[in-house]
Structure 1
Amino acid sequence: MAAPADHPQTAPERLIGGAIAGTWLLWLFGALYIAGPVIGWLLAALVFVELYLGRKSIAIVPAAVWLWLAAMTALLLILWAGHANFSLGTGQTIKSSIGWAKGWALIALFMLAGAVLDIRVSVIARAACRLGMWTLVILPLFLAAPFIGLPETLWVSPLKAVGGPGPEYFATILYTIEPGAGTPRWQFFAPWSPAAGMVALVYIFIAAREQNLAWRAAGLAGFLAIAVLSQSRLALVALAVIAPVVWACGKVDRGWIWWLVAPAFLLIGLFGTDLLAFVDQLASDFSSARADSSRVRAALGRIALDRWEDEAYWFGHGVVENGPHLVEYMPIGSHHSWYGLLFVKGLLGAIALGLPMAITLGNLVWRARLGALQRMGLAMILILALYSFGENLEILAYLFWPGLILIGKALVSTNLDQPAPQE
């Protein structure tokens, strides 16, 4: 008889499926920030074992994944150069290197695991749908919490002793109150609400690959609820943009798609000025929806750019610094991967991320017509590209890592979702 599609068979599948499905339990104990790096490096160890034993050939690793590995390694070398330039000391360098291992390194390691290890998409999709189902089960508690007197934060896990960017990564938070508006906002298992929107977006595209209709409905409903209740403006815009773009890229070799696109380009040419004014108004409305947040983000960006250009052009400052009272003492360059990279790792750091991201995006745009797996990989790299302008990617890699695995799988031609052999 055929093995059930949702039953993990390999060690990587058991590890990945269990970690995704157990997300809420890990959140409850404040262990998500630790689990992500542990899983990433365990999968890297499994890749090494497979290659060392000859069960996998190093030749199957695609060039784009090699580029990510080289670029993320370059970020570590750039980090060391920045520390040396500002004489930050051995202790701080070691601490920052550990931070690299829990952030930037994971992006390449998870892609490598996806490219090399036997991991079926169906296993990831079913685990994601289980997570979506449990989200629906506990959703009433989150919704009721601010109205029945439950505290915003239940507790902060003692696991914070291992070190991390802040206590919010180890906290069990039911809701937050939006400053100024006084209304509740939910971040679920993410450290803040916009990050929850990003992770929900990743899981929406994963859950859409589930073959069982009931599981797919549960997964999509759970993650759509997170996306909406997080009140992340970027999540809703990205969902509306990415889905049609991925669909169109998948049909680019069909003649009829060009017949549909041609009138659209004609209309753009005829009404270009009006469309630009409309887009400008949308951007203004987008920013004014949370004027204080947009103001702080813009100020953080200006400070990051000014200090990068004046003080640390090539290698950056080496470490994150808190901004002045004007930006509520938030870290300079936060809420933006490119500003953050320029400030901490300089121009070379920004290039180290931009080059592999652009090449991977172009690769998957071209390969999207080949199948659903390639289109899913395209959706994931588009999410990373869009959110690189609203989040610091490395600091959230411990949450969106399933999407990185799928990018790695999409970059190779093997398809592990073929029907299981008869026993």
Structure 2
Amino acid sequence: MGHADWSLGTTQTIKSTVGWAKGWALLGLFPLLGAVVNLKPERIIRAVCVAGKHTAIFGVITFILYVAGLPGQLFISPLQILGGAGDNFFMVSLFGLSPETGVGCWQFFAPWASSVWFLNCIFVIFCLQEKDNVWRNWSIAGCVVMALLSQSRVGWAIFIMIIPLFLFTRQLKTPRLLLGLGFLLPIILLSGEPIYESVIDAFQQVKEARPASNRVRTALENLGVQRWRDEAPMWGHGKVESGPKLVEFISIGSHHTW
């Protein structure tokens, strides 16, 4: 409907449909497969561990190449003919460069570097359940490499919290721990305001560590909301567009806010 509303044509509609099918449609198909196919958790956990091991090796090798000053971008995939969000989406690369700082930024097997920390935080939950020590250690090392090289502050914060939380939940059936929580939680509730203020102060300090990143994200969100509200409130624009230098040429679309 967005394509028809903005007269983007049959060719662009077909290309966008293919792009939707190979991307967003999978978000619905994968949970459907998980519901109807008898998958053993051990196989999924091991598969994640295999990916984690390869990621650890790939990350170390490409970091050495980055330090050596070699270019990270290799070539643009011919699949670009199917359409997508610019050349960057189809660029086959060893590593990328942050548009804000100019330093190396790894996207690994994710479409964007910012997606890596999200995948990484999911991966580590799977990896901690691996029973084989060798695979578990390799995969956790891969998660650490992803957390480091994706350069996400939020990713690091969540990653650091996940491991103790995961180990903590295993002990929730212990009577001593439950009794301890019974004493600890009221104390936390009574001292909630200073704890809240300290968390907010720490969050603000993290935000100020990379002000350019926050500026770009805020501007991208404002642009997306403003263009949707003023230009296409019913069906949207139909496709994303490359943003201006203000947002470091990142594509403007509804996904950032939605």
| TM-score between both structures, scaled by the size of structure 2 | 0.83
List runs of 5+ in structure 2 lacking aligned partners. Answer: none
2:21 equivalent in structure 1: 101
Inter-CA distance 83–159: structure 2 relative to 1 (3 Å threshold): closer
CA RMSD of aligned residues (A): 2.9
1:315 aligns with 2:235: yes
Post-superposition Cα deviations, 1:363-398, rounded to whole Å, max 9, x if no partner, equal: xxxxxxxxxxxxxxxxxxxxxxxxxxxxxxxxxxxx
Contact 1:248/1:257, CA 8 A, preserved across alignment: no
Q: Which one of 171, 183, 205 corresponds to residue 285 of structure 1?
A: 205
Unaligned runs of 5+ in 1: 1-79, 342-423
1:120 pairs with 2:6 = no
Check conservation: 2:85, 2:240, Cα contact below 8 A. Answer: no
State the SS of the aligned residue for 2:251.
coil
The amino acid that maps onto 2:138 is A
Q: Which residue of 2 aligns with 1:5?
A: none
What letter corresponds to residue 116 of structure 1 in structure 2?
V
Of stretches 206-215 and 319-328 in structure 1, the one that deviates more from structure 2 is 319-328
Count residues with an aligned counterpart.
258
Q: How far is 1:274 from its partner?
A: 1.8
Taking the aligned partners of 2:178 and 2:253, their CA distance within structure 1 comes to 41
Q: Deviation at 1:262? A: 4.1
Answer yes or no: is the 8 Å Cα contact 1:227–1:235 preserved in 2.
Answer: yes
Cα deviations across residues 38-66 of structure 1 (Å, max 9, x unaligned)? xxxxxxxxxxxxxxxxxxxxxxxxxxxxx
Question: 1:220-278: CA deviations, max 9, x gaps?
Answer: 11222111222211221222344566667777788766544444443343333322322
Relative to structure 1, the CA distance from residue 142 to residue 254 in structure 2 (aligned partners, 3 Å threshold; closer, same or farther) is: same
Q: Does residue 216 of structure 2 align to residue 299 of structure 1?
A: no
Q: Quote the Cα distance in structure 1 between the aligned partners of 2:9 and 2:226.
A: 25
Distance in 1 of aligned mates of 2:59 and 2:160: 24
Q: What is the rounded CA distance, in whole Å, between the counterparts of 2:160 and 2:32 in structure 1?
A: 29
> Within 5 A, what are the aligned runs for 1:80-229?
80=1, 82-179=2-99, 181-229=101-149
Q: Residue 360 of structure 1 aligns with which residue?
A: none
Deviation per residue, 1:69-105 (Å, 9 max, x gap): xxxxxxxxxxx2x334444433333333222212221
Q: Contact 2:239/2:253 (CA < 8 Å) preserved in 1?
A: no
Task: Report the Cα offset of residue 181 of structure 1.
Answer: 4.4
Moved more, 183-192 or 200-209: 183-192
Correspondences of 1:12-411 after superposition (within 5 Å): 80=1, 82-179=2-99, 181-243=101-163, 259-333=179-253, 337=255, 339=257, 341=258
Q: Deviations along 1:13-34, whole A, 9 cap, x unmatched?
A: xxxxxxxxxxxxxxxxxxxxxx
